[in-house]
């Protein structure tokens, strides 16, 4: 009823039995279709009718297509089978007389320069062999251009081929932020074996750089779509918008494999651990024994990493043929644009070592915080947390930022409420104070924040009780206050 009041069309297709409360769904819909011989609608089924009244009646006689289409008027259309019912539903949708306003610039579609049938030959049978992801892109986007569109819809494509390095992650993070700020949907084409590992890469900051890409993907609010072409292993699955990052749709090709790591890598890791344990006890482990140990692990990973295993457990939105990718993506992008694209809000924290030695007493606490639209500021640590020998730089410490965000959120809601009550605010200043201590579990936390707002009104001044009520309602609406466990007190001045 509420959806109807909000002018949301409701179309019911009855392909089976709608009993008891379920009967109200087709009865309350704008238009209802029922399939002859299999669709039924009734509040009480034949067994209940017999028990209550003694009447013996078949499901079709009680609430079948003939009854509701010709007598009761509950349904509007009858269909010969399921396919016919869906065709009628599509015709109803086509006649809704609605124009969809999309938030992206559309163009006339153009066919790719290369046939989609060639996609089967692009992906190698051996998952360890590399391939050029641009060969895939050229067969699914309009006119095979890098400024990609799919059937006229703009899309930003993040595709990879194997390992993600630091420079790859930084480039990917920047591109995701760029598309998010421009409101362009994102498509991730996965063939990821994970982030690069090793002493050199850990020292080079692969964890920090990878986190930037993961953060960018997590904070992006534009519609995201993921197609797993080949491997989807390790933490790289997160950076490439895996299921945990809630893409609107996630599909897999038959060539896909998904697991925490590849079967060969998993078998080798477990074999190394077992060999080290045996040798530590003075034993020996032959090559034949090692192979017998690794074989079932590889088989298990191959079986449970297979796309049929994943899709059977609803871990994705379906297994699709490569040549169907373009059509499926176009339909999904179109569906996602039925709702406005949300604004993405990024907060990227970046720190760089500036001292030869990395030690508690010497490393610099200064860092940079960057938000969407290019705004950034310098931050640091509270003076009492910095050793006297450590470099010092002016900046906002996290404790100050936390208190300031609570105060700012409260003030903005206060101003909003004041406007709705026809009050005029000339000046608002809050000398907020935070207390850093131990919480009930003994953990360091901002245990209490006291807001001390002083408000100057230009016109009628609310009473003390009215002013307190305004602050209480502002506090109730402040989403930051609602997101933390900190005790927050308000003391109007």
**CATH T-level assignment (fold) for domain 399-490:** GMP Synthetase; Chain A, domain 3 (3.30.300)
Place of tokens 């040798």: 279
Dist CA 125 CA 120 (whole Å) = 10
Q: Do domains 2-94 and 399-490 have the same CATH topology?
A: no
The DSSP 8-state label assigned to residue 139 in this structure reads: T
Dist CA 310 CA 313 (whole Å) = 5
Please state, in angstroms and as integers, the Cα–Cα distance from residue 377 to each residue in 291, 370, 407, 459, following that order: 56, 7, 18, 37
Let me know: does 159 contact 239? Beta carbons within 8 Å.
no
Nearest CA among 321, 336, 320, 325 for reference residue 141: 325
What is the chain's pLDDT, residue by residue, as a tens digit (493 residues)?
788 777 888 999 999 999 988 999 999 999 999 999 999 999 888 999 889 888 898 989 988 999 999 998 899 999 999 999 999 999 999 888 877 778 788 888 989 999 999 998 888 877 778 788 899 999 999 988 767 999 999 999 999 878 888 888 889 988 998 888 888 999 999 998 888 888 888 888 888 888 888 888 888 889 999 999 988 888 888 889 999 888 999 999 998 888 887 788 888 889 899 888 888 888 888 888 888 898 989 888 888 888 899 999 998 999 999 999 999 999 999 999 988 887 776 666 677 777 777 776 767 777 777 765 556 777 776 665 666 666 666 667 788 888 888 888 898 889 888 888 888 888 888 888 888 888 888 888 888 899 999 899 988 899 989 999 999 999 998 888 888 889 999 998 8
Q: What is the pLDDT of residue 382?
A: 65
* Size of the chain in residues: 493
Q: What is the pLDDT of residue 371?
A: 67
Place of tokens 């930003």: 156
Let me know: does 159 contact 136? Beta carbons within 8 Å.
yes
Q: What is the pLDDT of residue 128?
A: 72
Dist CA 158 CA 187 (whole Å) = 6
Does the global pTM surpass 0.95? Answer: no
The DSSP 8-state label assigned to residue 470 in this structure reads: H
User: How many other C-beta atoms lie within 10 A of the C-beta of residue 52?
Assistant: 9
**CATH T-level assignment (fold) for domain 116-336:** 2-enoyl-CoA Hydratase; Chain A, domain 1 (3.90.226)
Q: What is the pLDDT of residue 316?
A: 92
Q: What is the pLDDT of residue 190?
A: 92
- Angle formed at CA 464 by CA 462 and CA 465, multiple of 5 degrees: 95
- Give the residue extent of every domain in the chain: 2-94, 116-336, 347-396, 399-490
Nearest CA among 178, 157, 176, 183 for reference residue 103: 183
Q: What is the pLDDT of residue 98?
A: 78
Q: Class of 2-94 per CATH?
A: alpha beta
Predicted confidence (pLDDT) per residue in 449-479, tens digit: 999 998 999 888 999 899 999 999 999 988 8
């Amino acid at each position: 009823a509420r959806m109807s009041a909000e002018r949301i069309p409701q179309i019911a297709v009855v392909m089976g039995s709608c009993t008891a409360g379920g009967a109200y769904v087709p009865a309350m819909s704008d238009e209802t279709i029922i399939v002859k011989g299999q669709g039924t609608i009734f509040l009480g089924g034949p067994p209940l009718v017999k028990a209550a009244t003694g009447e013996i009646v078949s499901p079709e006689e009680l609430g079948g297509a003939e009854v509701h289409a010709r007598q009761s008027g509950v349904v509007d259309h009858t269909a010969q089978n399921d396919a016919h019912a869906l065709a009628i539903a599509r015709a109803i949708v086509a006649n809704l007389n609605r124009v969809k306003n999309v938030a992206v610039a559309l163009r006339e579609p153009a066919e790719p320069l290369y046939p989609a049938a060639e996609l089967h030959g692009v992906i190698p049978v051996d998952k360890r062999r590399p391939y050029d992801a641009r060969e895939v892109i050229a067969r699914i986007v309009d006119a095979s251009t890098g400024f990609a569109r799919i059937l006229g819809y703009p899309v930003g494509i993040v595709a990879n081929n194997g390992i993600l390095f630091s420079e790859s992650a930084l480039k990917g993070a920047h591109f995701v932020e760029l598309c998010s700020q421009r409101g362009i949907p994102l498509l991730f084409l996965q063939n990821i074996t994970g982030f690069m590992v090793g002493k050199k890469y850990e020292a080079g900051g692969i964890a920090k750089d990878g986190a930037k890409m993961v953060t960018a993907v997590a904070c992006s609010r534009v519609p995201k779509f993921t197609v797993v072409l080949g491997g989807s292993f390790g933490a790289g699955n997160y950076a490439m918008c895996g299921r945990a990052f809630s893409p609107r749709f996630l599909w897999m090709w038959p060539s896909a494999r998904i697991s925490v790591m590849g079967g060969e890598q998993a078998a080798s890791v477990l074999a190394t651990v077992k060999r080290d344990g045996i040798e530590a006890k003075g034993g020996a482990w032959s090559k034949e024994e090692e192979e017998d140990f690794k074989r079932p692990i590889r088989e298990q990973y191959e079986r449970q990493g297979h796309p049929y295993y994943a899709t059977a457990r609803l871990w994705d939105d379906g297994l699709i043929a490569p040549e169907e990718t373009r059509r499926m993506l176009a339909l999904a992008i179109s569906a996602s644009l039925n709702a406005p694209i949300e604004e993405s809000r990024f907060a990227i924290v970046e720190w760089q070592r500036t001292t030869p030695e990395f030690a508690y007493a010497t490393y610099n606490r200064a860092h940079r915080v960057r938000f969407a639209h290019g705004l950034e500021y310098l931050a640091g640590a509270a003076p009492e947390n910095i050793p006297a020998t450590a470099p010092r730089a002016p900046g906002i410490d996290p404790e100050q930022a936390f208190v300031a965000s609570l105060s700012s959120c409260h003030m903005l809601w206060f101003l909003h409420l004041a406007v709705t009550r026809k009050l005029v605010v000339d000046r608002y200043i809050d000398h907020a104070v935070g207390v850093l201590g131990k919480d009930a579990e003994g953990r360091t936390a901002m245990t209490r924040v006291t807001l001390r707002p002083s408000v100057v009104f230009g016109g009628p001044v609310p009473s003390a009780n009215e002013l307190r009520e305004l602050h209480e309602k502002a506090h109730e609406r402040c989403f930051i206050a609602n997101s933390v466990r900190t005790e927050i007190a308000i003391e109007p001045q």
